[in-house]
Structure 1
Amino acid sequence: MNESFARKRLFTETHRRRPYTGTARPRLLGGQALAAAQRLSRSTMQPRVLGYIQFVADLLSIGLTGLLAHSLVADAMLGPMQRAGAVWMAALCVTFLAKLLGGYGFRRMRSLRKGLAVGLVSLGGGLLLTLAALGWAGMPMSTLQVWGLYWGLAAGGLMGVSRVAMRARVHHLVRAGILEHRIVLVGGGADIEPLIREIDRERGRGRRLCGFFDERMGARSPATLAGHHKTGDIDDLVEFARLAKIDTVIIAIPGASQARIRELLARLFVLPVDIRVTEGTEIPDYSRKKRSKIGPIGLIEIYKRPIGGFAAVEKRIFDLFFASLAILMLSPVMLITAIAIKLDSPGPVLFRQKRHGYNNKPISVLKFRSMYTDLCDPTAVKAVRKGDARVTRVGRFIRRASIDEFPQFFNVIKGDLSMVGPRPHATAARTGDIVYDQIEQAYSARHKVKPGVTGWAQVKGWRGEMNSMEKITQRIEHDLYYIEHWSLWLDLKIVLMTPVSLVTTKNAY
């Protein structure tokens, strides 16, 4: 079964509608859960950030010491360009080897002995390859030996110092709770006590148990286990995970049936977290099935958060580049639009609207004002329709051409939006008497990635007025397809297709 289809079916099978009350019904955390979430609300640092810092430190250490060592060799024959090319080629070779050996991973940086070993092996291998290539090109071996000795000693010393400093920094950040991998458990009773103790044992390595959640009551699920208090039920977990910035949810219910696991996954899938189950549990066919361990306890990875790790860095660089390029190219159009709006009707040029952002967090999105000031609808309770009297003359044109969205490139620079992603809906947006997130339970899964200025749904024709359940369902399905199949090439394709879709789409008013 196709993985994307299986995930959609998972939501359909457990779909539960809620009566319309005017706003989405929030889950109110209990006092203990809320207090714990507030203590954990400060953002943590991802270990990969330290990996990038160590990578840059190694690159500079090898490059600068190589140039310095070359200047100390009396009979060196390389010219400035040849010298720079050889030195930085060696630096890239060493860091590439270190990357292959896991030298920029959290486990290596946390262990001084392993970190030094990987660094020295990578340095030796990279320098030998570079010097061998220079010898093959005709540089005297005696010169290469002297240069290599000076270079290796200097670079090795700097790399050693940087790893000692990194180990101290990691230790400090872990103790301060800034560098940690936050985990919550689903389950209760004596069966999960060994897992709780193993996670607590690895607290010094950056793992932290933030609570366990269970819907059962009574003796089967006591309120306290291994020194930890039960934090709530599964509905509490969803809100708690968003507030506390949880990284991994582990379903620890030994012997749970596949139907039970699927029901839990349907409720947890809206979260941008890794989801794992303990070994011995029946798992759905579409699971990733990647294995890992916490101590002796085996885990199976069901779902991995979308666009994580280095992919998130690549996407951010993509966003900054194309948003800056768009602002530069479209600045004359934005200036003319601002003047036209000011001349057409009284009021501000820009309009701010609250919309759903990443992880369901509200963001303030910029738009050119397209309605009369006294008729603006910041909550989007009433969708704009064809011939809407609230829209100004200039507003009709800029909405049809999507020029009103151009200021959102500044939201991309700020980091609230991405260039490509699910379009952010207003927090109270609805169709008729139904709020968007009541039409499909999968709606909240759109918030697992950062929303975008344009998206897969928009370039495939699902843009503009969403005046039926079918249209909103189609938009959501396209957004989920994008999340499941994301790549930089798909982002580039969508960016290139967007101008064409603006011309061909007819239902934007």
Structure 2
Amino acid sequence: MSETASRKRLFTEANRRRPWTGRARPRLLGGQAQAAAQRLSRPSMKPQVLGYLQFCVDVLTVGLAGRLAFPLVEEAIFSDLQRLEVIWLGALSVALVGRIAGAYGFRCMRSLWRATATALASLIIGLMLLAGLLILAGLPRGMVEAWMLFWFIAAAGFMLTSRVAMELRIAHLVQTGRLEHRIVLVGGGDTLEPLVREIDRERRRGRRLCAFFDERMDDRSPAMVAGHHKAGDVDDLVEFARLAKIDTVIIAIPAASQQRIRELLGRLFVLPVDICVLDDAEIPEFSRKRRSRIGPFKLIEIYKRPIGGFAAVQKRAFDIVLSLIAIALFAPLMLAVGIAVRLESPGPALFRQKRHGYNNKPIEVLKFRSMYTDQCDPTAVKAVRRGDSRVTRVGRFIRRTSIDELPQFFNVLKGDLSMVGPRPHALTARTGDIVYDQITEAYSARHKVKPGVTGWAQISGWRGEMNSPEKIRARIEHDLYYIENWSLWLDLKIVLLTPWSLVTTKNAY
């Protein structure tokens, strides 16, 4: 069975906590857990950002070193344009060799001696490759070697200085809590204490234990382990992780059975975090089985967040660029529609509706108003059907063509929505008397990524009225497929196919 199919089966088999619906929770996080979650509500800096920064610094400093070293040899061997081309080719060669050697990984950058050794090795290899190309091109060997020697000396000084500065910067960011890998543990008792102490010892490396949670409430699960207070049970963990910016959840239950892991995963899969278990656990067949360790403790990665690291940066850049283009392109149309809505019936041109966003948090989505003001349904308790008397004449047209959703490009620019993702549903959206999240256990998993203006389900024909549980399940299956198979090319494909889906879909009213 494929990994995707296994995860879908897990979604439908496992129990899970119902997502946030706007109603009061039956219980709240304890005071200490609430305070800790609020302190962690600001995301920490990702190590990848420092890696990309170091890459750019290396390109610039190696290029500058090449330019400074060039006047020490005969300038007649190149024209000005050729000189610049060769210098930047050398700078890129050095940086790319460093990239292959792991010079921009966090583990390498936080160790000064390792970072320095890798940088010098990359510099030597990169300049040797460039020198070989220049000699093969027929340039005087002695002149090329002299230039490379001067270039190496200057660039080595720059690269060593930048590594020292980066090591000091990393130490400062870790000390102030702005650069850290945040961990939450599931488990309790004496068996948890060694792992807790090991994570605390690695605090200077950027690891931080935020809290631990345990279902047991008897003597086997003390309220404090190695100086850390128990923050609640697994349901409290879900609420905690929605408030705090957590990176990894570790199921630290020794020799946990596969059934026990499945039960916990069914409740934790809604969270956009990495999920690991201890190495001696009984591993479900769909796990990634990638190993890592914290000191002597070996971990197995069960699940990795769908879009993280540089992929999240790519997707956000994609969203910003396309939303700006779309706003500029459709500005005249949006102005005309806004005027038409106001002229047909009294009330505002825009309609704001609370919907489920990333990590189940509510967001306010913009649309052009398509109903009479006194009959608008912000809660979406009653779905719009064919010939619905609440919808205006202009509203029928803009709903059928999805023009009513054009203001959502501003939501994309703000960051509440993505250009592509599962469509956001209203907090109490329903089919008949059944709320969407009661139809299938997999519903919450669609909130692991930002909702989108368009999505895989929409271009596959599952757009418009969802008037049966079967249609809801089909839409959610398509949403899960998108989450499991995301790529920038898939986003681009969906955006390009969206206009055609608007023309061919018949069930949007």
Range of TM-score over shorter length: over 0.9
Q: Partners of 1:482 and 1:251 in 2: how far apart?
A: 27
Q: What does residue range 265-304 of structure 1 map to in structure 2 within 5 Å?
A: 265-304=265-304
CA distance in 1, matches of 2:151, 2:407: 51
Shift of 1:25: 5.2
Q: Distance in 2 between matches of 1:4 and 1:41?
A: 31
Does the residue aligned with 2:219 lie in a helix, a strand or coil?
helix
| 1:52-102 deviation per Cα after TM superposition (whole angstroms, max 9, x unaligned) | 111111111122222332244333421233222212221221111111121
Structure 2 equivalent of residue 120 of structure 1: 120
Equivalent in the alignment of 1:96 = 96
From the superposition, tell whether residues 421 and 201 of structure 1 become closer, same or farther in structure 2 (CA, over 3 Å). same
Give the direction of change, closer, same or farther, for the CA distance of 1:16–1:483 in structure 2 (3 Å limit): closer
Please tell me the residue identity of whatever aligns with 1:311.
A
Amino acid at match of 1:334: M
Deviation at 1:24, TM superposition (A): 8.1
Identity among equivalent positions (%) equals: 71
Aligned counterparts of 2:76 and 2:119: Cα–Cα separation in 1:
27
Shift of 1:395: 1.1
* AA aligned opposite 1:188: G
**Pairing 1:3–2:10 present:** no
Give per-residue Cα distances to partners, 1:9-44, cap 9 Å, x unaligned: 112222479799984857621223212212222221
CA shift, 1:195, in A, is: 0.9
Q: Using the alignment, how far apart are the partners of 2:443 and 2:263 within structure 1?
A: 17
Cα drift, residue 284 of structure 1: 0.4
The equivalent of 1:48 in structure 2 is 48
Q: CA, structure 1 residues 419+370, in 2 after alignment: closer, same or farther (shift >3 Å)?
A: same
CA contact (8 A) 1:424 1:452 kept: yes
Counterparts of 1:369-380 in structure 2, within 5 Å, are 369-380=369-380
Cα distance change, pair 244–501 in 1 and its aligned pair in 2 (3 A):
same
Question: Partner letter of residue 487 of structure 1?
Answer: S
Instruction: Report the Cα offset of residue 429 of structure 1.
Output: 1.9
Task: Flag the 1:240–1:18 CA change in 2: closer, same or farther, 3 A.
Answer: closer
Q: Is the 8 A contact 1:17 1:439 kept in 2?
A: no
User: Which runs of 5 or more structure 1 residues have no equivalent in the other structure?
Assistant: none
Give the whole-Å Cα distance in 1 for the aligned partners of 2:24 and 2:358: 17
Partner of 1:364: 364
**Deviation readout 1:291-339 (Å, 9 max, x if unpaired):** 1110011111101111112211222222223223323332332232223
Instruction: Give CA-to-partner distance per residue, 1:203-245, whole Å, 9 cap, x none.
Output: 0100001111111122211111111111111111111112111
Q: Secondary structure at the match of 1:353?
A: strand
Q: Kindly indicate whether residue 135 of structure 2 is the aligned counterpart of residue 135 of structure 1.
A: yes
The aligned residue for residue 108 of structure 1 is 108
User: 1:235 and 1:184 mapped to 2: Cα distance?
Assistant: 13
Task: Indicate if the aligned counterparts of 1:352 and 1:366 stay in contact, CA closer than 8 A.
Answer: yes
Alpha-carbon distance between aligned partners in 2 of 1:351 and 1:19, rounded to the nearest angstrom: 24
Matched with 1:401 is: 401
Q: Deviations over 1:331-383 (max 9, x none)?
A: 33223222322322233222222222111222222222222233322332322
The amino acid of 1:423's aligned partner reads R
Q: Is the 8 A contact 1:69 1:151 kept in 2?
A: yes
Mapped contact 1:275–1:301 kept (Cα < 8 A): yes
Cα-to-partner distance string for 1:132-159 (whole Å, 9 max, x where unaligned): 1111111222221232223222222222
Q: Is the 8 A contact 1:289 1:302 kept in 2?
A: yes
Contact preservation (8 Å) 2:16, 2:266:
no
Q: Take 2:149 and 2:299, find their aligned partners in 1: how far apart are those partners?
A: 47
What is the total number of aligned residue pairs between the two structures?
509
The residue aligned with 2:433 is: 433
> What are the within-5 Å matches in structure 2 for residues 134-153 of structure 1?
134-153=134-153
**Which TM-score applies when normalising by structure 1?**
0.95
Partner-residue secondary structure (3-state), 1:202: helix
Separation of aligned partners in 2, 1:359 and 1:309: 17
| Residues 17, 438 of structure 1: 8 Å contact kept | no
Q: Is the 8 A contact 1:346 1:373 kept in 2?
A: yes
Q: 3-state DSSP class of the match of 1:428?
A: coil
Go from structure 1 to structure 2 and tell me whether the alpha carbon gap of 1:421 and 1:20 turns closer, same or farther (over 3 Å shift).
closer
**Aligned-partner SS, 1:351:** strand
TM-score by length of 2: 0.95
How has the CA–CA distance of structure 1 residues 352 and 442 changed in structure 2, closer, same or farther, with 3 Å as cutoff?
A: same
**Cα distance in structure 1, aligned partners of 2:17 and 2:184:** 27
Which aligned pairs between 1:199-214 and structure 2 lie closer than 5 A?
199-214=199-214
Q: Is the 8 A contact 2:255 2:281 kept in 1?
A: yes
**Alpha carbons of 1:499 and 1:465: their partners in 2 closer, same or farther (altered >3 Å)?**
same
**For the structure 1 residues 297 and 21, does the alpha-carbon distance in structure 2 shift closer, same or farther, using more than 3 Å as the test?**
closer
In 2: Cα distance, 1:195 partner to 1:19 partner: 31
Does residue 167 of structure 1 match 2:183? no
What whole-Å deviation, never above 9, does each CA across 1:390-421 have from its counterpart, x for those lacking one? 22211110110001111212222222211111
**2:476 aligns to what?**
476
Partner of 1:341: 341
